[in-house]
Amino acid sequence: MRDHITEIVIFTALFLLVSGMGFVAARWRRPKDMAHLDEWGLGGRSFGGWVTWFLVGGDLYTAYTFVAVPALIFGAGAAGFFAVPYTVIIYPLFFLILIRLWSVSHRHGFVTPADFVRTRFDSPTLALVVAVTGIVATMPYIALQLVGIEAVLKTMGVTGEGVIARHLPIIVAFAILAAYTYQSGLRAPALIAFVKDTLIYIVIIVAVLWLPYKLGGWGAIFDAADAKFQASPAPNDGIILNANNQVQYFTLALGSALALFLYPHSITGVLASKNRDVIKRNMSALPAYSLLLGLIALLGYMAIAAGVKPLPGTNPGSVDSNTVVPVLFDQQFPAWFTGIAFAAIGIGALVPAAIMSIAAANLFTRNIYKEYLRKDATHAQEANVAKITSLVVKVGAVACIVFLDPQFSIDLQLIGGVIILQTAPAVVIGLYTRWLHRGALIAGWAAGMSLGFWMLWQIPNAATGRRHFGGSAFPLSEFGFDSTKTIYVGFVAVLVNALVAVIVTLALRAAKSPEGADGTEPSDYFADEGDPRIERERTTTVDNISST
């Protein structure tokens, strides 16, 4: 127990340190007035290269990544490495797409992707669809950050009997997170991201140097993993892909890449940048995180070689695979370093959880509250509603963990990816062309969402005994193919979404259905910092803040 006390003390000290930074962040780059959504929800759209690099990196690489990717490698082998190529694919997509979204958003003062869709297609209904989709897809993602913290706390023995006692440390941690996010907005995770990323880099570099030395070298690690998977009855397991899982692998990688930058929190981090060059430089530098992710994934094989046994799960007879990495560190490192590693995972949950709750709050405020409940809301009222909404979102995320099986929350993340992908035609294609009809985009969204949920409903999970929503790998045999291969649900659903959007567009055009007016112009998509129109709008914004 002495070692766990050391771990708990170091974990708590670092956790309190970054919490203090979260409250201090309200004074960092402080504007004259925080009562504006641009300031609270986007950090004043003023973040430069270094801040953006840490913010976006901290946003995309979460505590769930730290514990779940190695756990997937530990249990499924090579298929779990899909996370590495998809984080490589994502940066060219960011470069091509989000730079245009940054420009048009800064020129028009958009805070959310739904703001853009509302103006581009002259459709509050389509904007509502995009906003609700973003909020629903983000909720389980926030809950998953709690899963990472819970795995660390469980390994340190910080658990109790009963539902509330077992989750009390998480409730306290998220109460602190809620408090400083309410006060500081996006500035809080931006400042904390410096500490979070530094800790993670240190921990992973030490781990990949020390653990192979201690476990007999990389050859011994891969031999141990290969031996485990060769003995496994599951035909898809192995340290290399086989014919059955290759289609699932590349469709999951591509679909996940497309889904990740559509999440509202990813877009929020980018819109907070001060100019286009900041985004370009970051898209060139952020692949360094992909290298880090590859090293993190290898911890799964190291855990096999070390003989790690996951801790028991919530249900009798089950195991919590998310504890693989915490147990590995607990067994192989001294208590003081393990405490630092656990703090890196815990703090790694705070940054993305804060950004996600802010992004969801922005969507509700701009595209539901202001659009349908109070059209004449002032900037101060918008900021206040966003703050309150961010608290509600965090409470909902905690409720997911307290009242649902954590394993079910992980499955919800797969559903979240399928859900957010259905906004791709409206947001991504809309940035380049307005050819698709606004009514067709809604029809495509409905078709993709319906098909996606039907496919997810058909997938069982033998390991957990769940008959539905047991994963995202859909057997092609269900479509009538004589094949044992599987495919990623989200990939199929978004293709159907786009196809329906094209067909319905042709039909609505033939029927001469009204298309609305495009509120943007071609030059909007190339606007940059210093653009006279942007400066004029920012001056107006400052005047409005002063008047409120």
Asked whether the predicted pLDDT for residue 92 surpasses 50, the reply is: yes
Structure confidence at residue 131 (pLDDT)? 96
What's 160-191 look like in SS3? CCCHHHHHHHHHHHHHHHHHHHHHHCCHHHHH
- Cα 251 from Cα 263, distance rounded (Å): 18
The strand pairing partners of 475, in sequence order, are: 486
Structure confidence at residue 405 (pLDDT)? 61
Please provide the average confidence, as pLDDT, over all residues in the chain.
Answer: 85
Residue 19 lies in a domain: no
Q: Band the pLDDT of 430: cuts 50, 70, 90.
A: very high
pTM for the predicted model, two decimal places:
0.89
Instruction: Please state, in angstroms and as integers, the Cα–Cα distance from residue 463 to each residue in 144, 312, 460, following that order.
Output: 20, 14, 9
Percent of the chain at pLDDT exceeding 70? 89
Identify which of 154-158, 371-375, 378-382, 494-498 has the greatest average pLDDT: 494-498
The strand pairing partners of 486, in sequence order, are: 475
Residue 324 lies in a domain: yes
Instruction: Please state, in angstroms and as integers, the Cα–Cα distance from residue 280 to each residue in 100, 174, 193, 252, 429, following that order.
Output: 11, 33, 20, 26, 20
More confident residue, 144 or 235: 144
Asked whether the predicted pLDDT for residue 337 surpasses 90, the reply is: yes
Q: What is the pLDDT of residues 131-148, one digit of tens each?
A: 999 999 988 788 788 788
Structure confidence at residue 200 (pLDDT)? 87
- Say if CB 434 and CB 119 are below 8 A apart: no
Least-confidence region, from 56-65, 440-449, 538-547: 538-547
For residues 335-339, average pLDDT: 92
Residue 21 lies in a domain: no
Domain span at residue 74 reads: 2-10+46-535
More confident residue, 180 or 427: 427
Percent of the chain at pLDDT exceeding 90? 37
Domain count, the chain: 1
CA 472-478-481 angle, to 5 degrees, is: 115
CATH of residue 268's domain is 1.20.1730.10
Residue 22 lies in a domain: no
Instruction: Please state, in angstroms and as integers, the Cα–Cα distance from residue 107 to each residue in 368, 429, 523, 525, following that order.
Output: 22, 19, 10, 9
Residue 486 lies in a domain: yes
For residues 287-314, average pLDDT: 87
Structure confidence at residue 50 (pLDDT)? 87
Structure confidence at residue 482 (pLDDT)? 66
Name the maximum alpha-carbon separation found in the chain: 75
Structure confidence at residue 539 (pLDDT)? 43
Q: What is the pLDDT of residues 3-28, one digit of tens each?
A: 688 999 999 999 889 888 888 887 77
Structure confidence at residue 3 (pLDDT)? 62
Q: Quote the distance between the C-alpha of residue 419 and its chain's center.
A: 13
Residue 37 lies in a domain: no
Signed CA dihedral, 60, 531, 184, 204: sign only: positive
| Alpha helical stretches, state H, 216-274 | 218-230, 246-260, 264-271
Asked whether the predicted pLDDT for residue 85 surpasses 50, the reply is: yes
Asked whether the predicted pLDDT for residue 265 surpasses 80, the reply is: yes
Asked whether the predicted pLDDT for residue 276 surpasses 50, the reply is: yes
More confident residue, 411 or 278: 278
Return the number of other C-beta atoms located less than 10 Å from residue 512's C-beta: 7
- Say if CB 449 and CB 119 are below 8 A apart: no
Residue 23 lies in a domain: no
Asked whether the predicted pLDDT for residue 235 surpasses 60, the reply is: no
Asked whether the predicted pLDDT for residue 540 surpasses 70, the reply is: no
Least-confidence region, from 69-78, 86-95, 226-235, 446-455: 226-235
Asked whether the predicted pLDDT for residue 38 surpasses 50, the reply is: yes
- Cα 210 from Cα 200, distance rounded (Å): 15
SS3 assignment, position 290: helix
Least-confidence region, from 246-255, 321-330, 426-435, 535-544: 535-544
Q: Band the pLDDT of 492: cuts 50, 70, 90.
A: very high
- Say if CB 411 and CB 469 are below 8 A apart: yes
Taking alpha carbons only, the member of 90, 87, 91, 137 closest to residue 296 is 87
Asked whether the predicted pLDDT for residue 208 surpasses 80, the reply is: yes
Task: Quote the tokens at residue 12.
Answer: 């708590």
